[in-house]
Chains A and B, each alone.
Chain A
Amino acid sequence: MALTFSGVVSSMTKEISLEHVWVEFGEFTAVHKANLNIAGGEFFSFLGPSGCGKTTLLRCISGFQEPTRGKVRIGGEDMKGVGPNKRPTALIFQNLALFPLRSVADNIAFPLEVRGVDKKTRRKRADELLELIALPGQGDKKVSELSGGQKQRVAIARALAVEPDILLLDEPLSALDLKLRQHMRTELRAIQKQVGLTFIYITHDQGEALTMSDRIAVMNKGKIEQIGDGRSIYDHPTTSFVASFVGENNVLDGTVLSNDGKVMQIDAGMGTPFTVESHPAGGPALAPGDACHLFIRPEALRVSRDDSSVNQFETNFVTEEFEGNMRHIMMNTNGKDLKLSLINDGTNAIDANSPVKLDFAPELGIALKPGELASA
């Protein structure tokens, strides 16, 4: 592989920076002051619900959309006025946008064709790329004869034929069924490692973002809420939106009783006050008397072994969703619903007819300033 991509690998280190990028459509602000750097060779994802501005941001990078304000730099160069056909980016569209009237090889060789490369070289290059995506000898097929996953790979090969520095992917897996989607995650990551290009990936599927990315930017309503690797986004969300959007979370309204910089006491109306760690990654500090959202992941809750655990409270069983490997149990305390996820290890610690005691570790409870929650 290295032989065909030696040229690409050497030029892959171009970094991208967005400097105070705004995009406005009339009254509507699609992107609100986006500010970030993406290093060369990084697998970077934009994660957010539909309409959050992630696709608009991608179109700013690819050149289909000019920012209203701010700058897009690629490899340090300002991209203002540079058309999509002049940028070192290649975009893989949500619907892949393979040309239906051209054969597989002609699709892959299209970038070379428009650059005036002769037919023989084009064919040779297409065959090399087909080899790379593990579809050797399929060049003469029609696009419609390929399966969903094969089309996906052809689209990647076509984008690679441009010899771009940056590959942009706009929810390319959303049309595939679940099994294939999971398989393609691994495959995409493998291709990225192999060719060493910068991948910028757009998705609303947190699973995709978490499994593939080096770093993730979570977006909502045009704003970037948090940037970080998968672990920090999941374990240490800095806004209520991120906490509620990435993964499942129980949210309780509470009031801060005390905060000494290391631990906080929070009254969440569950009987005893809860003790949680003060946020290590920063985020706005909470002072005594402040209202807050307390997030506890369903898998962080556990059934108490004895009566002496911290953050212990009593709940009543409501209902159970049985998923095979996991059991999702809905509980209720003082009118507040809580979800509890347990691994199905054959034991049954929940008695449907009498109150159950639950607790959680202080480092797994996250108290944040009240903010917008992601709708379910």
Chain B
Amino acid sequence: MKMKSPTTMIPGLYLTLFFAYLFGPLIIMVITAFNSSTFPRVSPWECFTTDWFGKLASDDKLLAGLGNSLLIGVGVVCVAIPIGLAAAITLSQVGPKLRAALYTIFIAPILVPGVVIGLSTLIFWDRIGTLFNAPYESFFYDGTFLTIFGQVTFIAAYSMLVFLSRIQRFDTTLTEAALDMGATPTQAFVKVLLPFMAPAIGSATVLAFLASLENYNTTVFTIVSSSTFTTVLSSKVRYGLDPSISAVAVIIIAITLIGAIIYECRNRYNTKGWAHVIADRPVLKIATHPGTVAAILGVLTLAAVVFIQNHDSSACTAQVLEEKRALQQQLMEQQSLNTPEKTVPAPTMPNLGPLGGDEGGTSAPSPFGNNIFSPENLGTSAPAEN
């Protein structure tokens, strides 16, 4: 026993480390969304703030991008799911030689770099548009349409894989039974195969929608002059690091977690063991119903939103500002006393004035738009962070 315990601990320890790698960056990003520092960071901790969320709500570009993304997502689902389903069914019905060839073609869009797919889609429809002498406003040049086409190319392959794994478990004698009992082939398809595929259609839809929402590599080419949530986010990140991006992450992570919790609750609720437990306990039955869990999470979310809207961190941020100013002043005095020649970098000086003037105002907003007040500006310059 003594000898064994370390070896049995290793897998657990390794899993812990692995999940730390998986979740660590996300947790840190979440924390930075609540720090009032204008650069996303955990330390030094300045003030707990929810202002970054407010900044998001007024970000029109991001909201417009989100609108486009949702539209594209719906479009992709509508096209990719029927294609993926048809591909999976076709594969399940053709002979082994043709199946291998088709499978290679179908799987290729997953392996081809997204950049290549985006580019080829753009060129192809541009060519077709030129061929028909289509006006520039026509859909051949429309970012939304092109993006749907581009994304469908590989998302159809993802959904095909989902359908394939389901259809492999389909008992083909069910179709034969239906035919034998007088159903036409189409009836057999609609009444037997399609209902069997329904769960896979559900999960493929979710998968396709999420894949569409988060795609960047293909979209960045096909979106042309329009924008999606992801492309706006990307340009935001490349322009400058800003805790409001962390706030976006917080929202997405929250949605994901809520989805995952409800999913897991539903799974547990539907297990046989649990059905046995709650059979004669009506209170527990209601309390653990996925609907109840969803409602509780909904209320919590609402509470969080209300909290975010009403939380006022201006007093704290003003104080931090004051402290920083004092520190800087002190530093300056010290430096000017010790080594008058080597002063602090000049550019920070002029900025002190106008900002310092804000100290009295209690309604000073925390995002100043630049991070010139980051402490490292006092020491080594760190322009690389921008």
Contacts and interface: CB of A to CB of B under 8 A. Distances in A.
A27 to B, nearest CB: 17
B108 interface: no
Nearest to B181: A111
A262 interface: no
A94 B173 CA distance: 9
A84 B173 contact: no
A97 B174 contact: yes
Contacts of A317: none
A113 B178 CA distance: 11
A174 B191 CA distance: 28
A85 B179 contact: yes
Nearest to A102: B195
Given A85-B184, A95-B171, A97-B171, A114 B178 contact: yes
Interface in A105-160: 110-111, 113-115, 158-159
Interface in B111-166: none
A159 B173 contact: no
Contacts of B196: 101
Contacts of B361: none
5 contacts: A86-B182, A101-B195, A111-B182, A114-B183, A162-B182
Interface residues of B, number: 17
Q: Give the interface centre of B173, B174, B177, B179 by most chain A CB atoms within 10 Å.
A: B177
Given A84-B176, A101-B195, A114-B191, A90 B171 contact: no
B180 A95 contact: no
A95 B196 CA distance: 17
B174 A99 contact: yes
Contacts of A63: 180
A162 B174 contact: no
Interface in A260-307: none
A93 B14 CA distance: 50
A174 to B, nearest CB: 14
Contact of A93 (B177, B187, B191, B195): B177
B70 interface: no
B192 interface: yes
Interface string B88-123: 000000000000000000000000000000000000
Nearest to B187: A114
Contact of A84 (B174, B180, B187, B191): B180
A97 B173 contact: yes
Contacts of B187: 114
A113 B191 contact: yes
A51 interface: no
Contacts of B179: 64, 83-85
Contacts of A101: 195-196
Contacts of A159: 181
Contacts of A111: 181-183
A158 B176 contact: no
Contacts of B180: 62-64, 84-85, 89-91, 162
Contacts of A161: 181
Which of B178, B180, B184 counts the most A-chain CB atoms under 10 A from its CB? Answer: B180
Given A97-B173, A162-B181, 8 more contacts: A62-B180, A85-B180, A93-B173, A93-B176, A97-B176, A113-B191, A114-B178, A115-B182
A96 to B, nearest CB: 8
A97 B182 contact: no
Contacts of A97: 171, 173-174, 176-177
Nearest to B195: A101
Interface string A213-233: 000000000000000000000
A85 B177 CA distance: 9
Q: Which 9 A-B pairs have the closest CB atoms?
A: A97-B177, A114-B183, A111-B181, A97-B173, A91-B180, A85-B182, A93-B173, A84-B180, A84-B179
A91 B182 contact: no
A95 B173 contact: yes
Contacts of B195: 101
Contacts of A93: 173, 176-177
Contacts of A83: 179
A110 B174 contact: no
A93 B196 CA distance: 19
B192 A114 contact: no
A114 B177 contact: no
Contacts of B177: 91, 93, 97, 99
Interface in B176-204: 176-184, 187, 191-192, 195-196
A158 B182 CA distance: 12
A90 B181 contact: yes
A243 B191 CA distance: 47
Interface in A38-91: 62-64, 83-86, 89-91
Nearest to B172: A97
Nearest to A106: B191
A85 B192 CA distance: 15
Nearest to A64: B176
Nearest to A59: B176
Contact of A158 (B173, B181, B183): B181
B190 to A, nearest CB: 10
